[in-house]
């Protein structure tokens, strides 16, 4: 039975990864932050919870002792400054890698983001790219894979839920450029990709893999509206959120963050990400490498969540 060290197991994606890893028979050592606002971890027979933090090297050493692989899913997705993102998404990767090499862990799987493809857009995107670059520096010391998911949704997700609830009510706010295209991924498909990459008989490809839900060339907002109409049995109402208005909210958030400990999601950088016209990903490399196939197209994901 393989033992996997998992970070981010208290978050949206990590909780699903934890379930998939234990369901397919792995023992998991999972990191949790005792002081955080997340619910305290539940006791699960095959899970050993390790109290710690990506900023604390000792806890990371404990986490990765006697494991066969590391799945690094923890990350900062909210923040106001590059420094805040780098502290978690770059320095956290480096600290975990140092512990991994010290303890002789053979494999490292980094959950990065499609945003890393466009590091000039935002502090988040840049930090995810720099996190990947950090892993590449350890190429001669550890086997690795990188996953770059697009927007991920599913049960327990707080970021996309408000938007999906509106779509359920046949209201489609066009968030971003009208002709923009974007890929989506249901969280269970991401978890299955992780399981495929960790198969014991597989050798790490030392490759960066993009993923999507099986809908080639992504979605446009018009396609999302057509899906909403089909699911709800009535036409969907689309409306555009003006970039100027969203940018003002982003700037207000930055001002509030500079005066408090608030960690905003919507910042001027996030607005640039939202209005980037091409967030289409490509499944071909991961399918070639692992035979992974996504199962949940967006309409099926909506049905699972709301119908
Ligand atoms: N959601 C998406 O659409 C999406 C798309 C592409 C890539 N990703 C990537 O997927 C990963 C997980 O995202 P998510 O949506 O699941 O985010 P999330 O719900 O905010 O979860 C983040 C996780 O990271 C942990 N974490 C944050 N800072 C930490 C620190 N200093 N030390 C230890 N743990 C820390 C959090 O712990 P607490 O519970 O204690 O806060 C939580 O478990 C991130 O790396 C993100 O960049 C997400």
Ligand 1 mutation target, pool 5, 6, 7, 11, most atoms within 8 A of CB: 11
Distance 289 CA to ligand 1 centre (A): 26
Residue 205 to residue 14: CA distance in whole angstroms: 22
Domains, the chain: 3-151+184-213+281-295 (3.40.50.720)
What pLDDT is recorded for position 1? Answer: 84
What pLDDT is recorded for position 110? Answer: 98
Residue 232 to residue 168: CA distance in whole angstroms: 7
What pLDDT is recorded for position 103? Answer: 98
The residues with which 124 forms a beta bridge, in sequence order, are: none
Residues sharing a CB contact under 8 Å with residue 138, sequence separation 6 or more, in sequence order: 97, 101, 108, 144
What pLDDT is recorded for position 83? Answer: 96
Extract the tokens encoding 234: 């009535």
Would you call 273 helix, strand, or coil by DSSP?
helix
CA-based end-to-end distance of the chain:
38
Would you call 234 helix, strand, or coil by DSSP?
coil
**Angle formed by the axes of helices 91-102 and 123-136, nearest 10°:** 20
Q: Return the closest-CA partner of residue 191 out of 45, 29, 39, 8.
A: 8
What pLDDT is recorded for position 179? Answer: 87
Distance 88 CA to ligand 1 centre (A): 10
Residue 175 to residue 275: CA distance in whole angstroms: 8
Are the C-beta atoms of 190 and 253 separated by less than 8 Å? no
Residues sharing a CB contact under 8 Å with residue 195, sequence separation 6 or more, in sequence order: 20, 21, 24
12 lines ligand 1 (CB under 6 A): yes
Q: Return the closest-CA partner of residue 3 out of 51, 49, 66, 58.
A: 66
Q: What string of pLDDT tens digits covers the 307 residues of the chain?
A: 899 999 999 999 999 999 999 999 999 999 999 988 887 788 889 999 999 999 999 999 999 999 999 999 999 999 999 999 999 999 999 999 999 999 999 999 999 999 999 999 999 999 999 999 999 999 999 999 999 999 999 999 999 999 999 999 999 999 888 889 999 999 999 999 999 999 989 988 899 999 999 999 999 999 999 999 999 999 999 999 889 999 999 999 999 999 998 999 999 999 999 999 999 999 999 999 999 999 999 999 999 999 9
């Amino acid at each position: 039975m393989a033992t996997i060290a998992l970070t981010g197991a208290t978050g949206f994606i990590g909780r699903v990864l934890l379930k998939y890893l234990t369901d397919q028979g792995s023992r998991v050592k999972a990191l949790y932050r005792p002081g955080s606002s997340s619910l305290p971890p539940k006791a699960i027979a095959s899970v050993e919870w390790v109290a710690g933090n990506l900023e604390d090297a000792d806890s990371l050493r404990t986490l990765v002792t006697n494991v066969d692989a590391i799945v690094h899913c923890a990350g900062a997705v909210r923040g106001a400054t590059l420094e805040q993102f780098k502290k978690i998404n770059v320095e956290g990767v480096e600290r975990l890698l140092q512990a991994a090499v010290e303890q002789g862990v053979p494999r490292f799987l980094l959950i990065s983001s499609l945003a890393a493809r466009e590091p000039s857009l935002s502090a988040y995107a840049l930090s995810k790219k720099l996190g990947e670059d950090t892993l590449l520096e350890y190429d001669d010391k550890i086997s690795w894979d990188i996953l770059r998911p697009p927007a991920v949704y599913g049960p327990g997700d707080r970021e996309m839920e408000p938007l999906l609830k509106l779509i359920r009510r046949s209201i489609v706010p066009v968030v971003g450029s009208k002709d923009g295209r974007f890929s989506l991924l249901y969280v269970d498909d991401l978890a299955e990709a992780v399981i495929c990459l960790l198969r014991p008989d597989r050798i790490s490809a030392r490759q960066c893999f993009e993923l999507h839900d099986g809908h080639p060339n992504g979605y446009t907002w018009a396609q999302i509206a057509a899906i909403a109409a089909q699911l709800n049995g009535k036409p969907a109402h689309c409306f555009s959120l003006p970039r100027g208005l969203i940018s003002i909210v982003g700037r207000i958030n930055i001002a509030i963050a500079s005066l408090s400990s608030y960690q905003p999601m919507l910042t001027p950088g996030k607005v640039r990400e939202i209005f980037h016209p091409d967030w289409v990903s490509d499944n071909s490399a991961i399918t070639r490498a692992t035979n992974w196939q996504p199962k949940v197209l967006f309409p099926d994901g909506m049905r699972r969540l709301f119908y």
